Amino acid sequence: MIPGASSMASRASQRGVSLIELMVAITIAMLVTLGLIQIFGASRASSQMQEGLSRVQENGRFITQQMQRQFRMVGFSGCAADSERVKNDTSVNHMLDVGTGAVASEYRFQRPVEGFTVGTSTTPTELADDAGNMIDDNDALVLRTVGELGVPVFSRRLDGNNLVVTIPSTVHSPEVIAAAGDPAIYALENCVRADFFEGSISSGQLTANGLGGLNVYDPADGGPWSAFAAGKSLLDTLVANGTIGGVSVAPSRELDYELHRAEYVAFYIKNNAEGVPSLYMRRFERTGTPTALGAAEELVAGVDGMQLRFGFDDSAAIDGTVDEFLTTEEVIGAATTEADKDARWRRVLSIRVALLLRSEQRAGVSGTEADGSTARSFDLLGVTVTPPDDGRMRQVYETTIAVRNRIFNS
């Protein structure tokens, strides 16, 4: 045997890979890895898009349901619909501040629905403290209504200048009555009329000051009810001779009354603390000072735009049919006095709402049109909105809501 032959044979049997083979293997591995990354990226982008779409759809459903519920209360006054009240505006009242002799905007209950365009229209005075935070060119909506829940009235009587109404002492829901001793705005109705006034409840009795606070107001005379002019209580007409709002009712229906909370609800868009445009709702406080508006509550974040169109009865004699859909400015038209504006807004029978919602996180959505030529834009009832190219999912939601209490034969 040749010395070293066994060692040489052993080394010859331990062959490795060549440099070319190694490079081919690395290339194949890189291609596989890149493919996996592409699959993962596409899956992640799809997941983000689906998550964004899901959130947008959820928010859209929530907003539309919330606005539908609130708007459908327009014209509600207990057991009676509002169709005849559209013709007879004295069947409900504004509220007069006896101390100042003025009717504040939030208490104009003869204007149960009102809209305004931020930055263009005049903002209602009660929302002026938040007007600087609202986003221009969006519409806002104000509703002044009677609360959905009510309690029966057991008795009512005059105690000097005060009206005293007895209700079930077991009622404690803040949606019906305020906390004991807290003055709040209530509506007393008997299927014929409804009167709004300020009162406080204790031990099952509502007491309203007939010579002070916020009380019934007669727009026909430009001042309080005629009973007040005669030196009587502003609320005297609610109890004298079986009347409410100065209109007599049959003796058998003298106690056919219900008590409800008065409601004020405003919807508008402003930036939240993180700078995200969001839809806010503002209403009367539930505790503390129920006669005043509380702080704005954020309903949904990521609302880039809101436009409103109002179904308007333009007939010479109101017939309860929508003739056209108008912007807020077109509803007001040439009306200059507050009474004329009240009359115009009472002709609104439906509302069309368009909302542009966006996802909270980026969803890999392009901000340009499919051909890449122009920035992607959205149509909100004829108004074009062009959002920034931030990769977020966006979708337009539209709904038309009828004022069921104001449609004839409803």
pLDDT for 92 equals 65
Is pLDDT larger for residue 177 or for residue 67? Answer: 67
Asked whether the beta carbons of 368 and 390 are under 8 A apart, the reply is: no
pLDDT for 252 equals 43
Is pLDDT larger for residue 351 or for residue 155? Answer: 351
Q: Does residue 21 have a pLDDT over 70? A: yes
Candidates 303, 262, 266, 302; CA nearest to 282 is: 266
Q: Does residue 104 have a pLDDT over 70? A: yes
pLDDT for 307 equals 97
Candidates 262, 236, 250; CA nearest to 92 is: 262
**Cα 94 to chain centroid, rounded:** 21
Mean pLDDT of the chain: 78
Q: Does residue 83 have a pLDDT over 70? A: no
pLDDT for 117 equals 95
Check residue 400 and give left, alpha or beta (phi > 0: left; psi -120 to 50: alpha): beta
H helix intervals, 226-381: 226-229, 328-332, 338-345
Q: Does residue 376 have a pLDDT over 80? A: yes
- Residue 398: CB partners within 8 Å, gap ≥ 6? 352, 353, 354, 355, 381
- Amino acid at site 355: L
Say what the alpha-carbon torsion angle 171, 173, 179, 181 is, to the nearest 10 degrees.
Answer: -30
Q: Does residue 210 have a pLDDT over 80? A: no
Beta bridge partners of 201: 206
In the numeric block, the tokens 């009973």 are attached to 227
Q: What is the pTM of this model?
A: 0.80
332 by DSSP, 3-state: which? helix
The beta strands (E) that lie in 99-256 are given as 113-117, 139-152, 155-159, 162-166, 184-189, 194-202, 205-209, 214-217, 243-244, 247-248
pLDDT for 108 equals 87
| The 392-402 sheet, strands edge to edge | 324-326, 303-312, 348-362, 392-402
Number of alpha carbons in the 13 Å side-chain half-sphere of residue 123: 20
The predicted model gives 259-282 an average pLDDT of 93
**Cα 278 to chain centroid, rounded:** 12
Q: Does residue 265 have a pLDDT over 90? A: yes
The predicted model gives 32-39 an average pLDDT of 82
Asked whether the beta carbons of 322 and 350 are under 8 A apart, the reply is: yes
Q: Does residue 220 have a pLDDT over 80? A: no
Cα separation of 359 and 219, whole Å?
Answer: 47
pLDDT for 236 equals 47
Beta bridge partners of 232: none
Read off the DSSP letter of residue 54: H
Tell me the percentage of the chain whose pLDDT exceeds 70.
71
pLDDT for 317 equals 81
